Amino acid sequence: MQGLNQVESPERLVVHFLENSDEDSKSALEKMSAGAKFKYTYDNENSNLGFGKGHNFLFNKYKHEYGEFFMLLNPDTLPFYNFLQRFEGFRKSIEKSEKTWGIIELAQFPKEHPKDYDEKTFVTDWASAAAAIYRTSIFDDLQGFDESLFMYCEDVDISWRIRERGYTIYHCPIAKVAHLTRELDKRKDPSFEEIYSKAGNLYLRHKYFPKAQVKMYRHFIKGSPYIRKIDKEYKEILERAQDKGIKGYKKFKSPKIFPDTNYSFHRW
């Protein structure tokens, strides 16, 4: 709240909050938002829908109000006051030559996101959804995030699907958002990321690569202290995917994904 209030021209912003638990945080939010210069909405579905489903819920409810693009922002972030102005400058500069961007990922601070980007073009393989700006039409066409995933890797999945449609994904190193990741916030439970990101990784392999890739990765992580929980979560992801009619192993023709390099190593 504080961070968004400090953004240049906050009155231009409309922020949609979703309480992704059974807690009633409305009065707390109202208290925090006293003096807020931006408009906001509050929704509460009384349960944790998961990352992708939660965002899809908000997108479907409010997309008719969106412009050409919209932004996703984690609650454990604090955007720099100049991030919108920096983003605008970056967007205009890439649109001079490239009009088909799908996502522009913002830079994370103080620890940079460990995934790499091309230093000359700023093109990246996928965008972290902790702080990123999406093109509304393509997000809508793809029906948003894959809801089979509860948390982690849904951002990799949508990035790949967006790239398959011919759109480019950029990393914008000059627009920054402070992100208190698990590494920086010792109160966060480390097992959560381990279980859900590894289960998500297995699912991405199931979805886009031959079975051998799933087997290989399962072998690679067998020493994890959470392996049973990872297997359980992976099974649940597969069940949810089956319910939605999502089939495994859909090989992308273009653009290429790089399973064997460090280019997309993080989460992959």
Partner 1 sequence: MVKKKHAWTIIVRTQGRREDSLIETLYSIVLQSYKNKKVILVLHSKSQERLKKLEDIVKNLRPLLDIEILTSVSSKKRGYPLNVGLDACKSKYVSFLDDDDILYPHAGDVLIREMEKGDLNFVCGEVLSVHQKRIGKLYKNTAKGAIYEKKFNQVELVSTNYIPIHGYIYDFEFFKKLRFDERLDLLEDWDFLLQMIFSGKLKAKYIEAEIGEYRSRDDNSQSFQILKKRVKKSRKFISKKFGDKKLEIGFDDIFKIYPDVNDISPYLEIDSDIGKLRKEVERLRTNLEKRNFQIEKIVTRKGFRIYNKILKLLGRSAY
Contact set with partner 1 (CB under 8 A): 2-3, 5-6, 8, 78, 80-82, 109-110, 112, 119-120, 173-174, 176, 178, 180, 184-186
Amino acid at 253: K
Q: Which is nearer to partner 1, 68 or 119 (CB)?
A: 119
CB of 81 to partner 1, least distance (A): 4
**How is residue 198 written in tokens?**
């590894």
Q: Which is nearer to partner 1, 80 or 217 (CB)?
A: 80
Compute the distance between CA of residue 172 and CA of residue 92 in angstroms, rounded to an integer: 12
Residue among 102, 114, 52 nearest 246 (CA):
52
Q: Which is nearer to partner 1, 33 or 82 (CB)?
A: 82
Compute the distance between CA of residue 17 and CA of residue 37 in angstroms, rounded to an integer: 15
Q: Which is nearer to partner 1, 85 or 224 (CB)?
A: 85
CB of 91 to partner 1, least distance (A): 16
CB of 89 to partner 1, least distance (A): 11
- How far is CA 45 from each of CA 22, 23, 266, rounded to the nearest angstrom? 7, 10, 31
Looking at the DSSP assignment, which residues form a beta bridge with residue 176?
107
CB of 3 to partner 1, least distance (A): 8
**Alpha helix ranges (H) inside the chain:** 2-6, 26-32, 51-62, 83-95, 136-141, 154-164, 190-208, 211-220, 227-243
Q: Which is nearer to partner 1, 63 or 188 (CB)?
A: 188
CB of 36 to partner 1, least distance (A): 12
3-state SS string for 145-211: CCCCCCCCCHHHHHHHHHHHCCCEEEEEEEEEEEECCCCCCCCCCHHHHHHHHHHHHHHHHHHHCCH
Q: Which is nearer to partner 1, 43 or 112 (CB)?
A: 112
CB of 78 to partner 1, least distance (A): 7
